[in-house]
Amino acid sequence: MSDHYSSALASLVEEISHGKSIILDLGSTETGSTKVFLDLRCNCYVEDLNELLQEISSDNPSRFDLLEAHLLDKPDGLKFDYVLCWDLLNYIDKDLQTHLFNLLAPHFKEGTLLHTMRYTSEKMPSSPGQFQIRKDLNFSMEKNISDKMIKTPILSTIQLLKNMGDFTLRSTIMNQQGMRGDIIEYLFDYGEVAALRNLKKNNMAEKSKYSSQKLVFSNVIMNGLKESLNQLKVIENSSVLEIGKKGGRSLKILNTLTEHLYVEDIYSSLIWQKKINNNAPSFSQNALNFKADEFFNLILLWDIVSILHPAQFGAFLLAIRTHLRVGAKLHLLLPINSKAPEKPPEYEINPDFSVSVRGEIQGNQTRTITTMTQLTKLLPGFKMSSFQFEKFSDKDKFLECVFELIE
């Protein structure tokens, strides 16, 4: 048994306590996890997807029909106030997730709140957990009988949102007192009003966070980027890796252009690795954890080379090279100034494929990759397919480069 305190569930129960609610619990009927909600005089529907997942696998072509047959019949007009997913989405492949939420969508309403959790370590239990809620809102998580662990699937927030229809992210909860270190919790809201509220809240938070960063560039022209994005439109089942912050900026344009978008915050990973390596620059290949059969058509590196040492950039390329096929492209920027900022600015693609840039583009950090010759030597097997001078402003210029894998 292991305990995990859920502040997200605590806040959810607090909301529920203010009035009678209708709850959909996708978890097991055996644990009695809904008792705390029944005690609050809620109506609860329990789907017990744990039982279904024991019988099907992600390669079972009948799994969609089996899911439909398993779900409870629900009266017309029934709308859920809350949905409890527990850790089940870690065990449901993305296509079946999409099918599940499509089937349940008629019973969601504006403001339906969904709670779920994601495993973040390399390994997770081989089957969904059996969660029992105590009165102090700790989960007693029953130990897997077989003790077998399996590889944790890549389940990004962006991919979840794609699979969940009209849900938007309200909050992410991690590393709080009493929480297990390998679990992240999410709360999602359903509907257009909720989406606007969450967008406004996130924008206000980011505006406050970055109020001290005065340099803001809008509508920066990047012709190499524009050409690369237009090429995505004709690639079937395309996949893009973007190196940047996972939150606080819009990824809507990229989401509409590609079937599979992955975002990796390399800067935060480097900072963490520097701390555990006594300030020595390094790059762990574990920072990039993708399925073996995932191949990227385009990687947006922005100006990450500004903060990487050549050895770190080489390690990054070694880690990503196995996920590139001939024809894959790398897009990157090489600012023309002698000093780099402490951390890279943030880039956001606009509807016309111009770019908005927020943050400092100059600082007092020494750049270690400064010339096109040096950069080209670090990219064996690539050819330069596009190279041009562009500018953030009249005094702040950069080289925009696109490299294509040829061998």
Pairing of β 149-151 and β 296-302: unpaired
Contact between 197 and 361 (Cβ < 8 Å): no
What residues have CB less than 8 Å from 134, skipping those under 6 apart?
Answer: 140
In a domain, residue 205? The reply is no
In a domain, residue 59? The reply is yes
0.85 surpassed by pTM: no
| Whether 238 and 174 share a structural domain | no
State which residues form the domain around 327: 211-405
Domain harbouring 17, CATH code:
3.40.50.150
pLDDT tens-digit map of 70-85: 999 999 999 999 999 9
Q: What share of the chain in percent tops pLDDT 70?
A: 82
| Whether 194 and 220 share a structural domain | no
- Predicted confidence at residue 274, as pLDDT, reads 61
Answer with the residue of higher pLDDT: 160 or 92.
92
| Gap between the Cα atoms of 358 and 99, Å rounded | 38
pLDDT tens-digit map of 200-258: 555 444 444 433 344 478 889 999 999 999 999 889 889 999 988 776 677 888 888 88
Where a domain ends, among 198, 223, 252?
198
Q: For the residues 303-328, what does the mean pLDDT come to? A: 87
| Whether 334 and 391 share a structural domain | yes
CA-to-CA separations, 268 to 58, 237, 244, in angstroms, rounded:
33, 29, 9
| Whether 191 and 236 share a structural domain | no
Q: What is the mean pLDDT of the chain?
A: 82
What residues have CB less than 8 Å from 195, skipping those under 6 apart?
Answer: 166, 168, 189
In a domain, residue 9? The reply is yes
- Predicted confidence at residue 39, as pLDDT, reads 77
| Gap between the Cα atoms of 32 and 65, Å rounded | 27
In a domain, residue 204? The reply is no
Where a domain ends, among 137, 164, 198?
198
In a domain, residue 241? The reply is yes
- Predicted confidence at residue 212, as pLDDT, reads 38
| Whether 44 and 147 share a structural domain | yes
| Whether 88 and 27 share a structural domain | yes
- Cβ count within 10 A of residue 143: 11
Where a domain ends, among 171, 198, 225?
198
| Whether 138 and 265 share a structural domain | no
Could you give the number of structural domains in the chain? 2
| Gap between the Cα atoms of 359 and 366, Å rounded | 18
| Whether 127 and 216 share a structural domain | no
| Whether 179 and 220 share a structural domain | no
Contact between 160 and 143 (Cβ < 8 Å): no
Contact between 313 and 342 (Cβ < 8 Å): no
Rounded to the nearest 10 degrees, the angle between the axes of helix 94-104 and helix 63-70 is 30
In a domain, residue 203? The reply is no
| Whether 217 and 170 share a structural domain | no
| Whether 193 and 217 share a structural domain | no
Q: What would the two tokens of residue 31 be?
A: 């644990």
| Whether 96 and 222 share a structural domain | no
* Residue 247 DSSP code: S
| Gap between the Cα atoms of 7 and 270, Å rounded | 29
